[in-house]
């Protein structure tokens, strides 16, 4: 193999290192830990939807509500940068830097699937879901009846 006279083997290590770092960065995928798959709450309860994510950089987090009747955005935010809560949930929703949300004073109509999507500027994303069932009475009230 013939190499140019001005070829420097030390310079070859730099692109190789950059390539390896890129591969390592790509191998570290987004993860979402959702310890609960379903939550049951009574009307007017406050509900924490627990979620924790890990990824490279600062992601965009989006929560969406799904039911047999409709699909609607709940909130979109970038931790430390911006938060956009939809009008339907304004004054009833708290966003948390770890990806969780707290829905205040739940209603029967809040029953359904809540999907969290974590996406990076590179275009990669991951989703996880939790089911909320809202009842008219809590378990302690039902025991007294």
What digits encode the pLDDT tens for the residues 52-97?
999 988 899 999 999 999 999 999 999 888 899 999 999 999 999 8
Q: What local confidence, expressed as pLDDT, does residue 57 receive?
A: 81
Q: What local confidence, expressed as pLDDT, does residue 118 receive?
A: 96
What digits encode the pLDDT tens for the residues 34-64?
999 999 999 999 999 999 999 988 899 999 9
Closest of 139, 114, 138 to residue 38, by C-alpha: 114
Report, as an integer, the average pLDDT of 94-120.
96
User: What does pTM read for this prediction?
Assistant: 0.75
Under DSSP, is residue 116 helix (H, G, I), strand (E, B) or coil? strand
């Amino acid at each position: 193999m013939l190499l140019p006279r001005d070829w420097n083997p030390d310079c070859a290590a730099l692109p190789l290192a950059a390539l390896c770092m890129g591969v390592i960065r790509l191998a570290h995928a987004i993860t979402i830990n959702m310890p609960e798959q379903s939550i049951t709450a009574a009307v007017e309860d406050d509900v924490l939807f627990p979620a924790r994510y890990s990824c490279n950089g600062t992601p965009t987090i989006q929560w969406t509500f799904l039911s047999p009747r409709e699909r609607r955005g709940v909130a979109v935010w970038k931790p430390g940068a911006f938060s956009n809560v939809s009008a339907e949930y304004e004054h009833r929703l708290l966003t948390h830097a770890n990806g969780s949300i707290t829905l205040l004073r739940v209603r029967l109509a809040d029953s359904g699937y809540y999907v969290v999507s974590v996406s990076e500027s590179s275009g990669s994303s991951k989703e996880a879901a939790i089911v909320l069932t809202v009842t008219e009475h809590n378990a302690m009230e039902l025991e007294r009846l």
